[in-house]
Structure 1
Amino acid sequence: MRQKAAIRSLFLAVVCLLAVSPVLAQKVQGEAGIGFMAISPNLTDTIANFAVGDMLYGVTVSYAVKPWLGVSTDVLYLGDSYYGPGSGMFNEGPSSWAGLQSASGDKANWKYYESFIYAPLSINLMAPLGIVRPYLGLGPAFYFHFPSTNQDTAFTDYLKTHYGSAAVVGRIGQGFTARVGFDVFLGDSLSIGAGYVVREDTPVTVFKDIGDLNFYKEKGYLFLVGRFYIK
C-alpha cells in the first residue's frame, strides 16, 4: 500500500508541475538534445541485488517542439529475459534472473533466454522551472528480441504463445512506453537528469498490467542521463 501511495503522490506532483508550466515556461522551443543513458536492470533485479557494474546503457535524442512539449527517442539495451527450465519445458518466463521463482544453479545452465533492445518514442509534457525541468512522457515503442536459439522448435513455439507469430518471425514487436523524470541544467548546453521508465511489450494485457505493482518492478527501470543541447 505504501508503494502504491508513493507512486500516486509522485504522479500527482508531476501533473501539478506540468499544469503551471505554460506560465513559467522558458524559451526552449526548437532546442535539440543528444545524450547518453545509464539504465538499471529492471526493478526486480535492482531491489534484489544491485551493483554499479550491472548498469546497462543507451543513447537518447530529444527535441522541444514547444516550451512545454517535446519528443524523444532512445535506443536501450535492457538485458536478458530467461525461460525454462529444461529442454522443451517452459514453465518459467519471460522473467529476469532475479524474478525467477525457481532459479537455481548458474545462468549458463538456462540456455533459453532473450536479449532485448528497446526503442521507445516518447511524447513529453515538460515544466521548464528555471534550471530544473520535470517531465512526463508516453508513447509507442519497438522492441527487438534476440533469442538464444532459433533452432529449437519447442522454444520458438513457446515464444509465439507470448509474442505472436509475426513478432517471432520478424524478431521485432510493438508496445508502449511511459516515463517520468527531470533534468537539471548546468548551463545553456548541458544537463544531467534521472527518472523511471516502464515498458509494455504485450499491449493486449495493458489494462491488466496497469493495476499490477509487480508489472512496474519487472518491466520498470531507473535511469541517469546526460544531454548536450543545440539551440
Structure 2
Amino acid sequence: MDFSHPRIYDSDSILSLHHEPRHVIIYGAGVIGCEYASIFRGMDVKVDLINTRDRLLAFLDQEMSDSLSYHFWNSGVVIRHNEEYEKIEGCDDGVIMHLKSGKKLKADCLLYANGRTGNTDSLALENIGLETDSRGQLKVNSMYQTALPHVYAVGDVIGYPSLASAAYDQGRIAAQALVKGEATAHLIEDIPTGIYTIPEISSVGKNRAAVNGNESALRSGPRAI
C-alpha cells in the first residue's frame, strides 16, 4: 500500500485530509473502518465500505452487527462484504480499486483501515534479541515482560484488547512489577468496549457465541437508551 500517494490514507493521516472528498472508499470494516464510515456519511460523503468478512464487527452479537448494517445501509453507506482488493491505482484526482471479484471502484480517496500493526520496525529490536509477530506486536507475560525480563511492553503493541483504558492499567501493572518485582493487580476479565459509530455501540462481558450454547448463563433484553 503506497501511503505516500496524496489520495491514499491510513487512520492517522486521514485526520490531515487536505481536500473535500465527495466519495471515499474505506477498505476494512473493523471498528476504525466503521467509525470513519459513520463520520464521512455524516458529512454527506458517498462511502463504499469494503469488508473482507461476511458481516460487520463479527465479535459482536449477531443482532448488534445486523442492526449496525441496517443503519449503515439506511444512511447510504454501501457495504461490500467478502471482498478483497487485487490492486490499487493512484490518480491525480483519486484512486481506482480493483477487487478480486472483478469489480472496479473509483473514488476521490482511499482510507486503508484493515487493522493496525505495531510501530516497532524502527526500534531494531533484533539487536537485543526480541522478535515481533507478523503484525509487529510483542508477546508478554502477566507482568507485561517480554522475552527479555527487563524489557516491558503495554498497549496496542501487545495486541488485544487494544483499548486506551486497558493500556492505562497495563502501564500501572508493569510499573508495579518493575519496582516490586511482582504485580498483584491484573486486568478485569470483562472490559467495557465503546464503538463510536452512528448509532454508538457499547458492550461488556461475553457475547452469545462465547457462552457455547449454555443459555442458562445468558440473560438478554433490549432497552431503548
TM class by smaller structure? under 0.3
Normalising by structure 1, what TM-score? 0.20
Normalising by structure 2, what TM-score? 0.20
Instruction: Name which one, 1 or 2, has greater alpha-carbon Rg.
Output: 2
Greater share of strand:
1
